[in-house]
Amino acid sequence: CAAQLTPASTFKIPLALMGYDSGFLVDEQLPALPFKAGDPDFLPEWKQTTTPSSWMQLSVIWYSQRLTEWLGEARFQHYVDSFDYGNRDLEGNPGKHDGLTQAWLSASLAISPQEQARFLGKMVSGKLPVSAKTLRHTANLMRQPDIDGWQIHGKTGMGYPKLLDGSLDREQQIGWFVGWASKQDKTLIFVHTVIQKPGKQFASLRAREEVFAALPARLKTL
């Protein structure tokens, strides 16, 4: 739980907080931004106009990059520092000065499962330096199917570990599913990681499936 890994698309959680706090994001549907030639198009669903809701649901990388480019390096670093997020390293890939758009994508930014849990705990308890409105909008983007009356909020992420020479180990996938379950005055933070060889299913989706399989029994104990 202490080893730091790339946050990959779980970083969309702090990015959403930054977006709503700064005014770049308006609500769950605005701004709706068009896909542009040259944008990352790993999935066909990314090649279309994207809203905050579809950005989070489909993990659209280029929408994240529009947000960080709009923030600029100084504000971006300020937010990461104020959130005390992982190692707070926004350098990006060595020598490329691309941290503004790449730091969280198997590059310099890293966070451990323990740090993810601590960050999420501060978020849900209102201890991050953002407004209640910002927290509410971000939580809305993360909404998952309910379980036995519990509201579930979560985000997947998938990336690759680094080899000793700094290149990516494409033979291993890192999968995340992080978030929280809440019901009345009860809250359970969950952080789950999976490391596997590439297969038919992304490691991130496996992580989510495993959390949803385990949650019902765990929630009954609370």
Q: What is the mean pLDDT of residues 135-144?
A: 98
pLDDT single digits (tens) 33-73? 999 999 999 999 999 999 999 999 999 999 999 999 999 99
Confidence label for 20 from pLDDT (cuts 50, 70 and 90)? very high
pTM check: above 0.85:
yes
pLDDT of residue 184 exceeding 70, the answer is yes
Domain 8-219, classified CATH 3.40.50.300, yes or no: no
Helices 61-82 & 12-22 angle (0-180, nearest 10) = 80
Confidence label for 165 from pLDDT (cuts 50, 70 and 90)? confident
| φ and ψ at residue 85, rounded to 5 degrees | -90, 110
Q: What is the pLDDT of residue 112?
A: 98
pLDDT single digits (tens) 74-100? 999 999 999 999 999 999 999 999 999
SS3 124: helix
Which residues are the active-site residues?
Answer: 9
Confidence label for 200 from pLDDT (cuts 50, 70 and 90)? confident
Question: Domain residues of the chain, as ranges?
Answer: 8-219
CA distance 115 to 222: 23
